[in-house]
């Protein structure tokens, strides 16, 4: 049996390329060992079958942005039960239509963005892309978010009108927003610069108790039909 060698050396021999180029092929997910993609150039091989995808390219993969359907009870940004832990190769939504190849490197150094209450569910963003980070931090207050809020109780007189404009939160008057009944127990909120706890407080001011909160849109990006606990890629070219 031949002595084991680094995968990058074997790929360099097969592709007639430099060791550095071989490492880029491997790290970009173009190389398989016995039928399984390996992304580590230092991986040792001996008699295994090493194959390079015919579509292999030396272009550097774009940094990934993932969209997760966060379940209630998980922490979006920080906490001891992070929703980011749900993002694995096994929980990618089967109907993800982004066309992006799944790479293990896409799960490294993901930054969660756009706060969502621990007991809230719905659309959550995790990214490696500095452009997305800047957009969702520096411009966050200008990006509209949409929520479905299930409530119980009987709304106060003129309550719907007050939800749209006329309430305050933490000592400040809230700007106008768009609130309407989706059905007898669910309200649809569309608003900017939403703060933690704000939706529950708004509902309490008009005598409604909140049963659940689900975020269904951030800017132009909808949650859609993605199941709870699963994720998909944000396709290249789509913007918040």
Q: What is the CATH number of the domain that holds 200?
A: 3.30.70.1560
Determine the structural domain holding residue 105 and report its residue range. 65-141+221-233
Between 143 and 40, where is the model more confident?
143
Q: Residue 158 class from Cβ within 10 Å (0-12 exposed, 13-18 middle, 19+ buried)? A: exposed
* Residue 105 covered by a domain: yes
Between 28 and 136, where is the model more confident?
136
85 and 201 belong to one structural domain? no
CA dihedral of 75, 226, 237, 233, whole degrees rounded to 10: 60
Query: Is it the case that residue 3 has pLDDT exceeding 90?
Result: no
Q: At 24, phi and psi to the nearest 5?
A: -65, -40
Mean pLDDT, residues 98-114 taken together: 92
**Contact by Cβ (8 Å): 46, 2:** yes
Token pair, residue 190, equals: 């569309």
126 and 228 belong to one structural domain? yes
Q: How confident is the model at residue 39 (pLDDT cuts 50, 70, 90)?
A: confident
Mean pLDDT, residues 97-115 taken together: 92
* Residue 124 covered by a domain: yes
Total structural domains in the chain? 3
Q: How confident is the model at residue 2 (pLDDT cuts 50, 70, 90)?
A: confident
Helix (H) or strand (E) holding 238: none
Q: How far is CA 99 from CA 113, 151, 166, 219, in A?
A: 23, 38, 45, 22
* Residue 181 covered by a domain: yes
What is the per-residue pLDDT for 43?
93
Mean pLDDT, residues 49-75 taken together: 91
What is the per-residue pLDDT for 192?
97
Query: Distance between CA atoms of 229 and 158, rounded to whole angstroms?
Result: 37
Query: Distance between CA atoms of 179 and 195, rounded to whole angstroms?
Result: 16
Query: Distance between CA atoms of 135 and 99, rounded to whole angstroms?
Result: 23
Mean pLDDT, residues 153-180 taken together: 96
Query: Is it the case that residue 100 has pLDDT exceeding 80?
Result: yes
44 and 71 belong to one structural domain? no
* Residue 211 covered by a domain: yes
How does pLDDT run across 191-207, given as a tens digit for each residue? 999 999 999 999 999 99
Query: Distance between CA atoms of 66 and 82, rounded to whole angstroms?
Result: 15
What is the per-residue pLDDT for 236?
83
Mean pLDDT, residues 143-162 taken together: 97
Q: How far is CA 143 from CA 140, 215, 228, in A?
A: 5, 13, 23
Mean pLDDT, residues 225-235 taken together: 97
What is the per-residue pLDDT for 59?
80
112 and 225 belong to one structural domain? yes
What is the per-residue pLDDT for 61?
77
Q: What is the mean pLDDT of the chain?
A: 94
% of the chain at pLDDT higher than 70: 100
């Amino acid at each position: 049996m031949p002595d084991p060698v680094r995968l990058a050396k074997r790929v360099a021999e097969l592709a007639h390329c430099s060791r550095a180029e071989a490492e880029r092929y491997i790290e970009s997910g173009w190389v398989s060992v016995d039928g399984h993609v390996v992304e580590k150039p230092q991986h040792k091989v001996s008699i295994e079958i090493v194959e390079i995808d015919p579509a292999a390219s030396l272009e550097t993969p774009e940094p990934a942005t993932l969209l997760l359907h966060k379940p209630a009870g998980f922490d979006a940004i920080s906490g001891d039960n992070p929703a980011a832990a749900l993002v694995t190769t096994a929980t990618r939504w089967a109907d993800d239509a982004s066309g992006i190849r799944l790479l293990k490197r896409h799960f490294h150094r993901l930054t969660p963005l756009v706060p969502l209450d621990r007991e809230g569910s719905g659309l959550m963003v995790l990214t490696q892309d500095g452009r997305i980070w800047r957009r969702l931090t520096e411009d966050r207050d200008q990006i509209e978010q949409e929520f479905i809020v299930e409530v119980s109780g009987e709304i106060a007189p003129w309550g719907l009108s007050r939800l749209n404009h006329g309430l305050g939160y933490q000592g400040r008057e809230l700007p106008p927003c768009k609130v309407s009944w989706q059905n007898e127990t669910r309200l649809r909120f569309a608003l900017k610069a939403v703060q933690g706890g704000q939706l529950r407080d708004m509902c309490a001011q008009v005598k409604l108790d909140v049963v659940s909160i689900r975020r269904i849109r951030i800017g132009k990006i909808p949650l859609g039909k993605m199941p709870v606990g699963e994720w998909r890629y944000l396709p290249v070219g789509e913007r918040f």
